[in-house]
């Protein structure tokens, strides 16, 4: 199982659109995929046409990470064809869990949840909220890679840099296997001088981390999302070109996962000072709370190690 978060610390940049485009590319490649909708706006759930009348959602799963509750919150998207496309449905109730000062126990919950189903999916895509509170940090701790979505505008560029620094900090103090895959430019307007200026600024700031292709602002993307259809099967002009862009992006991410596979899971990402504690996250992000290097282990074995350490 490879876990990818799609994030932005600024709303309105098309973060969910990119997450859905990657999900469409994964479906097109026959990859068994789970999409986790952590954004309280639940746009990924709607975009995947997942049933909304669920008795359980990501909010209930995070409150009580038990397998029966998880099974009730998992639904199959109508997108599914030859491969699996499931959704861990979102809920506005998850906003109540988006604490600005999460505990260590809080940020580990999604990792514990994924340990229960790690053999069922090849790829997990997490659509995170546009903030750096508990839900986003929970997603990043459970992830192998993060894609940051930005548009070529001043405040989006500032937010992208803030997110990069936050990911670096969490990787250093909580989850050494986490790394930033790169920045995706969305909603580009080719004729805009401001966008051209900001693209050059992004190149200077992020170098090779600025990913290709850039995604232009197109009506066809809004149309397919509004119809809750994958971009790869949308019949309008221009959809095939956008779909190829997401194919390219997904291929790069999956190749990166495979290159790093021998290194992943070699680190027990529970620091010595974290075990058995429920102190605020800030308390464990000090230099003393370093990671512990151990033998290779899976999500399930990490979960078991943490459980015994609390006994």
Q: Tell me the pLDDT of the chain averaged across its residues.
A: 86
Q: Are strands 145-150 and 179-185 parallel, antiparallel or unpaired?
A: parallel
Both tokens of 162, joined, read: 């803030």
Would 280 be classed as within a structural domain?
A: no
pLDDT over threshold 50, residue 115: yes
Would 272 be classed as within a structural domain?
A: no
- What pLDDT score was predicted for residue 259? 86
Would 299 be classed as within a structural domain?
A: no
| pTM for this model (two decimals) | 0.86
Both tokens of 35, joined, read: 């999409």
CB contact burial 63-76 (16+ within 10 A = b; e otherwise)? eebeeebbeebbbe
Domain range holding 81?
2-264
Mean pLDDT of 6-16: 95
Which domain CATH number covers 149? 3.40.50.300
Exposed, middle or buried by CB within 10 Å (0-12, 13-18, 19+), for 105? middle
Domains held by the chain: number: 1
- What pLDDT score was predicted for residue 281? 43
Q: Sign of torsion, CA 137 142 145 148?
A: negative
Q: Do 46 and 30 contact (CB within 8 A), yes or no?
A: no
Would 292 be classed as within a structural domain?
A: no
Would 84 be classed as within a structural domain?
A: yes
Would 220 be classed as within a structural domain?
A: yes
Would 243 be classed as within a structural domain?
A: yes
């Amino acid at each position: 199982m490879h876990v990818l978060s799609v994030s932005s610390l600024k709303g309105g940049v098309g973060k969910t659109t990119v997450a859905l485009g990657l999900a469409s590319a994964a479906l097109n490649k026959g990859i068994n995929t789970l999409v986790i909708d952590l954004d309280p706006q639940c746009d990924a759930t709607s975009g995947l046409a997942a049933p909304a009348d669920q008795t359980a959602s990501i909010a209930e799963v995070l409150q009580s990470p038990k397998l029966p509750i998880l099974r009730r919150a998992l639904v199959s998207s109508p997108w599914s064809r030859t491969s699996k496309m499931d959704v861990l449905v979102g809920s506005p109730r998850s906003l109540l869990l988006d604490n600005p000062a999460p505990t260590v126990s809080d940020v580990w919950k999604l990792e514990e949840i994924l340990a229960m189903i790690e053999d069922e999916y090849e790829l997990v895509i997490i659509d995170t909220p546009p903030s750096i509170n508990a839900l986003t940090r929970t997603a990043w701790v459970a992830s192998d890679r993060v894609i940051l979505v930005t548009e070529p505008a001043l405040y989006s560029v500032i937010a992208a840099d803030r997110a990069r620094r936050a990911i670096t900090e969490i990787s250093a103090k909580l989850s050494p296997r986490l790394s930033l895959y790169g920045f995706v430019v969305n909603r580009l307007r080719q004729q805009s001088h401001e966008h051209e200026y900001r693209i050059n600024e992004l190149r200077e700031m992020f170098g090779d981390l600025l990913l290709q292709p850039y995604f232009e602002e197109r009506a066809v993307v809004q149309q397919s999302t509004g119809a809750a259809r994958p971009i790869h099967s949308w019949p309008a002009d221009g959809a095939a070109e956008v779909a190829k862009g997401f194919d390219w992006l997904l291929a790069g991410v999956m190749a990166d996962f495979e290159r790093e596979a021998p290194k992943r899971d070699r680190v027990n990402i529970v620091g010595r000072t974290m075990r058995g504690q429920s102190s605020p996250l800030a308390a464990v992000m000090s230099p003393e709370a370093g990671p512990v290097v151990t033998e290779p282990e899976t999500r399930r074995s990490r979960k078991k190690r943490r459980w015994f350490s609390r006994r």
